[in-house]
Amino acid sequence: MADRQLQEPTRLVLTALADAPRHGYAIVQEVLAITGGRTKMLTGTLYTALDRLLQQGLIRIDHEEVVAGRLRRSFALTEPGRETLAAETERLRAGVAEADRRLALGSPQPTLRTAGGTA
């Protein structure tokens, strides 16, 4: 998995679980916090991603409890999930560094001005 780019919902879910186990609603709230409110993860998107990540072994069910008569599952990163997120973070970091490098090379040069106008 580390050789492929993660889709944004996958990366956001893994990031939300990087520091602590969370249940679904808490993951949705954490994604809002991570993205500064720009991304509201829909329930269908979240649970599709969670099911896929469970099957891939990148997350695990940390614990289950019944709250108000409903089963609530909390999810946690596995070691392969942590490694996958670390690899994606490094891939993104390298991309940003390259963009910064190219922006610096292509920065506008100051225009020389002479007494009669521009040179």
pLDDT tens, residue order, the chain (119 aa): 446 789 999 999 999 999 999 999 999 999 999 999 999 999 999 999 999 999 999 999 999 988 888 888 999 999 999 999 999 999 999 999 999 999 999 867 666 776 666 55
DSSP H or E segment with residue 87:
helix 79-105
Residue 77, beta-bridge partner list: 59
Do residues 58 and 14 touch, judged by C-beta distance below 8 A? yes
